[in-house]
Structure 1
Amino acid sequence: MTAVPAAAEPVPVAHTLAGPRTVPQLVRTARYAVATTRTTLRNGMFVFFTIALPVLMFLMFNQIYGTQASGEAGQSVGTFIMVNMAAYGGLGAAINAGAIIQTERSNGWLRQLMVAGLMPRSFVAGKLVAAMVVVLPALLGVFLAGILLAGIDLSALELTRSLLTLWVGMIPLVLLGLAVGLALKPSAVGPVTTIGMMMLALVGGLWFPFEMFPDWLQSVSLYTPTYWLGRLGAWGIVGEDLPVRGVVTLTAWAVGLALVCALLLRRAARGASRR
């Protein structure tokens, strides 16, 4: 599988952030989030690898395995392939949208943003909002392909519940990308992001059925955010008992990574202020 490339260098937004210090941080955050979202979505390679590639993978896997009955609430295997491929597309968009911060660090953009008055917490919030926006097309693209091209039949409730669950579940993955972008040198971010995304997709059971794994790998999978992302997305369609362990696991990842990001950003901000 090919990893999602880093997005293009951010367009200058200093003029949207600069101005009197009385400008509310919420306004600065919103302006930064909009500028970052626009830049990311204009990157053709990013869009291809987060939307087109997962759609193509879904159509291929569905053609091979999709007609088999899954035994879960009468749904076909294709339904759960759709959920997993949507999660995979969202995974790539989330991690890489967060990791784009390495570009802003390497070209001095982080320093300019801080000088313009954007506080570190507003920076994280803006980056998180922008990443969550660019994740949506990756999820919607696969679901639309499933409904319009593969004939998967979902009620409005099932569709909404599964999409919303997958979308919210992307928060820890965005934070993971942000942590990688803050912690590593720019030259190392791309390889680490690529390998990490592939390992999370593989071990999380997004590419191959969890039941095929040996016992030791199944035990590892239960602690990954990607495994529970797929399970919660499937729960949105099947509608059985909520996997509480999955909610707890994703929450723990999100809280832990948020703390790591706060520490790393504080370090990055100090470094930027000394330049």
Structure 2
Amino acid sequence: MGAVFILEMKKNLQDRGLLFWMVILPIILTVLFITVFTSGAEKIAKQEIITSIIPGYTVMFVFFIIISMVSTFIKDRDLGMTARLASTPLSSKNYLLGKWIPYMFMVCIQIIILFGFGKVVYDVQMKQPILLFYLSIALAFTVTGLGLAMALLVKTENMGIALTQVIALGGALLSGLWVPIEMMPEILQTVATFLPQYWAHQSFQDAMHGTLMLEDFFTSLLVLMAFGCGGFLLAMVRYPYFLKQARG
């Protein structure tokens, strides 16, 4: 597992396209939307908008890591790497963990950079940093767990890209990442509670304000971890079928 982990980390750190999707584009769009939505707003209202946009766009953009996860699994499958590794003593569980954990690290780094940008440039409050830390790890676990499942479910890279956009953008729309959840119709507010983006965004905002109660924190943590564990279990079930498609 260690060799798979190291190889995957090296590939991710050398991928400039990944840097663009994970850091550069989110920062550009965050600045753009903050400029648009805070134009003419009073100081208090402006700060509220910023405190919603920073975590909102962070939650939205971490889901795009799924594209990279789908790409690496499809390439390994089609180039014969998956089949070769399957012929070694490496277990399927360790193979999946070795591929999965590097992306968790990358998402954690992404969250740190985007939150750090919000703190330095817009002076976003981080009143409950310990809770923010654990929520960030839980979000990284959730996103990459779902990405792992999708990487083994889809048959082509284009299908993975399309589904990722649906999950990232559709989830952002329904979870109140673009529009405050209070302004959405009641039926959509109910739908939002079934999505991991909603729980992550609401908890991030409350933790930044310093108003996140421990009961709500653990509820959000449990929901996020459940999504991640579900993704990993689905990937384990799907792996034998994925292996049958691999080139020898």
| Structure 1 length-normalised TM | 0.78
Residue of structure 2 in register with 1:173 after alignment: 143
Aligned pair partner of 2:170 in 199, 208, 225: 199
Residue of structure 1 in register with 2:61 after alignment: 89
Residues 182, 265 of structure 1: 8 Å contact kept? yes
Structure 1 residues 65 and 161: CA distance shift in structure 2, 3 A: farther
Aligned pair partner of 2:221 in 247, 256, 275: 247
Residue of structure 1 in register with 2:13 after alignment: 41
Letter paired with 1:120: S
Letter paired with 1:179: A
State the distance in 1 between where 2:3 and 2:27 align. Answer: 31
Structure 1 residues 38 and 115: CA distance shift in structure 2, 3 A: same
State the distance in 2 between where 1:240 and 1:232 align. Answer: 7
SS at match of 2:233: helix
Residues 108, 140 of structure 2: 8 Å contact kept? no
Residues 199, 224 of structure 2: 8 Å contact kept? yes
Greater mean alpha carbon deviation, residues 240-249 or residues 140-149: 240-249
Aligned pair partner of 1:78 in 40, 46, 50: 50
Aligned pair partner of 1:105 in 61, 74, 77: 77
Residue of structure 2 in register with 1:22 after alignment: none
Q: 1:111-190 counterparts in 2 under 5 A?
A: 111-154=83-126, 158-186=128-156, 187-190=158-161
The alignment's C-alpha RMSD in Å is 2.4
State the distance in 2 between where 1:120 and 1:202 align. Answer: 36
Residues 196, 224 of structure 2: 8 Å contact kept? yes
Residues 166, 232 of structure 1: 8 Å contact kept? no
SS at match of 1:149: helix
Greater mean alpha carbon deviation, residues 167-176 or residues 122-131: 167-176
Residue of structure 2 in register with 1:16 after alignment: none
State the distance in 2 between where 1:143 and 1:77 align. Answer: 15
Structure 1 residues 267 and 213: CA distance shift in structure 2, 3 A: same
State the distance in 2 between where 1:207 and 1:113 align. Answer: 42
SS at match of 1:118: coil
For structure 1, the residue ranges without an aligned partner over 5 or more in a row are 1-28
Q: 1:22-61 counterparts in 2 under 5 A?
A: 29-61=1-33
Residues 162, 234 of structure 1: 8 Å contact kept? no
How far has the Cα of 1:164 moved from its partner?
3.3
Residue of structure 2 in register with 1:69 after alignment: 44
Letter paired with 1:126: G
For structure 2, the residue ranges without an aligned partner over 5 or more in a row are none
How far has the Cα of 1:209 moved from its partner?
1.6
How far has the Cα of 1:34 moved from its partner?
1.7
Residue of structure 1 in register with 2:194 after alignment: 223
How far has the Cα of 1:106 moved from its partner?
2.2
Identical pairs, percent: 20
Higher relative contact order (CA 8 A, sep 6+): 2
Letter paired with 2:111: L
Structure 1 residues 252 and 140: CA distance shift in structure 2, 3 A: closer
| Structure 2 length-normalised TM | 0.85
State the distance in 2 between where 1:153 and 1:247 align. Answer: 21
Residue of structure 2 in register with 1:232 after alignment: 203
Q: 1:13-24 counterparts in 2 under 5 A?
A: none
Residues 138, 225 of structure 2: 8 Å contact kept? no
State the distance in 2 between where 1:220 and 1:232 align. Answer: 17
Aligned length: 240
State the distance in 2 between where 1:269 and 1:119 align. Answer: 12
Residues 139, 163 of structure 1: 8 Å contact kept? no
